Amino acid sequence: ENRPIPEPGPNEVLLRMHSVGICGSDVHYWQHGRIGDFVVKDPMVLGHEASGTVVKVGSGVTHLKPGDRVAIEPGVPREMDEFCKTGRYNLSPTIFFCATPPDDGNLCRYYKHSASYCYKLPDNVTFEEGALIEPLSVGIHACKRAGVTLGSKVFVSGSGPIGLVNVIVAKMMGAAAVVVTDLSAPRLQKAKEVGADFTIQVKNETPQEVASKVESVLGCMPEITVECTGVQACIQAGIYATRSGGTLVLVGLGPEMVTVPIVNAAVREVDIRGIFRYCNTWPVAIALLTSKRINVKPLVTHRFPLEKALEAFETTKRGEGVKVMLKCDPTDQSP
CATH number where 319 lies: 3.90.180.10
157 and 257 co-located in one domain = yes
Residue 65 belongs to some domain of the structure: yes
| Predicted pLDDT at 326 | 97
Task: Place 273 in a pLDDT band, splitting at 50, 70 and 90.
Answer: very high
Instruction: Judge residue 42's burial from the number of C-beta atoms within 10 Å of its C-beta, 0-12 exposed, 13-18 middle, 19 or more buried.
Output: exposed
Residues 6+ apart with CB under 8 A from 186: none
161 and 263 co-located in one domain = yes
Residue 290 belongs to some domain of the structure: no
Which residue in 284, 268, 273, 271 sits closest to 251, CA to CA?
273
| Predicted pLDDT at 4 | 86
Residues 6+ apart with CB under 8 A from 26: 46, 47, 48, 99, 105, 107, 313, 316
253 and 178 co-located in one domain = yes
Task: Say whether pLDDT at 329 is over 90.
Answer: no
How confident is the model over 277-311, as pLDDT tens digits? 999 999 999 999 999 999 999 999 999 999 999 99
Label the pairing between strands 177-182 and 198-201.
parallel
Residues in the chain: 335
Mean pLDDT (whole number) for 178-185: 98
Residue 4 belongs to some domain of the structure: no
Residue 253's CATH number: 3.40.50.720
User: What ranges make up the beta strands (E) of the chain?
Assistant: 12-21, 34-35, 38-39, 49-57, 69-72, 75-76, 96-97, 110-114, 118-120, 153-157, 177-182, 198-201, 224-227, 247-250, 271-274, 300-305, 323-327
| Predicted pLDDT at 332 | 73
Mean pLDDT (whole number) for 78-90: 97
Residue 112 belongs to some domain of the structure: yes
Using only the alpha carbons of the chain, give its radius of gyration: 20
How confident is the model over 106-140, as pLDDT tens digits? 999 999 999 999 999 999 999 999 999 999 999 99
- Spatial distance between the Cα atoms of 270 and 239, rounded to a whole number of angstroms: 8
Residue 29 belongs to some domain of the structure: yes
Residue 169, domain extent: 141-274
167 and 253 co-located in one domain = yes
What share of the chain in percent tops pLDDT 70? 99
222 and 316 co-located in one domain = no
How confident is the model over 186-203, as pLDDT tens digits? 999 999 999 999 999 999
Instruction: Judge residue 93's burial from the number of C-beta atoms within 10 Å of its C-beta, 0-12 exposed, 13-18 middle, 19 or more buried.
Output: exposed
243 and 150 co-located in one domain = yes
- Spatial distance between the Cα atoms of 257 and 181, rounded to a whole number of angstroms: 23
Q: What is the number of domains present in the chain?
A: 2
pTM for the structure as a whole? 0.96
73 and 147 co-located in one domain = no
255 and 303 co-located in one domain = no
| Predicted pLDDT at 2 | 65
Residue 109 belongs to some domain of the structure: yes
Which residue in 290, 283, 248, 288 sits closest to 266, CA to CA?
248
Task: Say whether pLDDT at 56 is over 70.
Answer: yes
Mean pLDDT (whole number) for 152-174: 98
Task: Place 334 in a pLDDT band, splitting at 50, 70 and 90.
Answer: low
160 and 266 co-located in one domain = yes
91 and 160 co-located in one domain = no
111 and 188 co-located in one domain = no
What share of the chain in percent tops pLDDT 90? 96
Residue 41 belongs to some domain of the structure: yes
74 and 108 co-located in one domain = yes
| Predicted pLDDT at 129 | 98
How confident is the model over 251-261, as pLDDT tens digits? 999 999 999 99
Mean pLDDT (whole number) for 60-78: 98
Q: Burial code of 269-295, b = ≥16 C-beta within 10 A, e = fewer?
A: ebebeebebbbebbebbbebbeeeebe
- Spatial distance between the Cα atoms of 205 and 232, rounded to a whole number of angstroms: 14
How confident is the model over 219-251, as pLDDT tens digits? 999 999 999 999 999 999 999 999 999 999 999
Rounded mean pLDDT of the chain?
96
Residue 134 belongs to some domain of the structure: no
